[in-house]
Amino acid sequence: MSKLTHLNNQGEAHMVDVSEKQNSKRTAIAQSIVNTTEEVINLIETNSLKKGDVLAVARIAGIQAAKKTSELIPLCHPLMISSTEIHTEILRETYQIKITATCKINGQTGVEMEALTAASIAALTVYDMCKAVDKSMTISDTKLLEKHGGKSGSWNAAN
């Protein structure tokens, strides 16, 4: 049976000690989807929203969020992230914006939370910049898509 690593023997929350773990190349990919309207998609594609280039600002917000994850999630380790990439894709047929965040590190612990935080904050930034036009927007399907590295190796949501 799997054991929750953020609980000590007394059941108390604590930061996991990774000091004995070996450094390894680690990658995590996460996504969030913004569900909106045709009008918002058109405004984003033509860069016609008053607040500016929505997808460019969302990319920057996602990168900043990855770097600040340990400040937002209490038991996360502060990490020296090697790379964060935010990819946005407009899914015109369904009026969605798919945001994919990829984080990489050579370290003692994984970057799954950083990728999830990056995707989430990028999606929230899209919401913030477009809410004046579409108050019914939703954010969905925030999830880890894959991770690589560390003792547990690779994992892919598709499998």
> Interhelix angle for 38-45 vs 112-130, to 10°?
100
> Given this model, what pLDDT does residue 19 score?
72
> Given this model, what pLDDT does residue 18 score?
81
Residue 60 makes CB contacts below 8 A (sequence gap 6+) with none
Q: Residue 106, Cβ neighbours under 10 Å: how many?
A: 11
Task: Tell me the chain's radius of gyration from C-alpha atoms.
Answer: 17
Distance of alpha carbon 54 from alpha carbon 27, whole angstroms: 26
> Given this model, what pLDDT does residue 7 score?
65
Establish how many alpha carbons lie within 13 A of residue 125's alpha carbon, considering only the half-sphere containing its beta carbon.
26
Q: What is the mean pLDDT of each run of 10 residues along the chain (159 residues)?
A: 65 74 93 98 96 97 97 92 98 98 95 98 98 97 96 91
CB–CB of 131/50 below 8 Å? no
Phi, psi of 10, deg, nearest 5: -95, 5
Closest CA to 159 of 141, 137, 144, 149: 144
Choosing from 53, 128, 134, 141, which is the catalytic residue? 128
Closest CA to 129 of 30, 60, 74: 60
Is 53 part of the annotated catalytic residue set?
A: no
In sequence order, the β-bridge partners of residue 144 are 30
* All domains of the chain in start order, with CATH: 41-151 (3.30.70.640)
pTM reported for the whole predicted model = 0.91
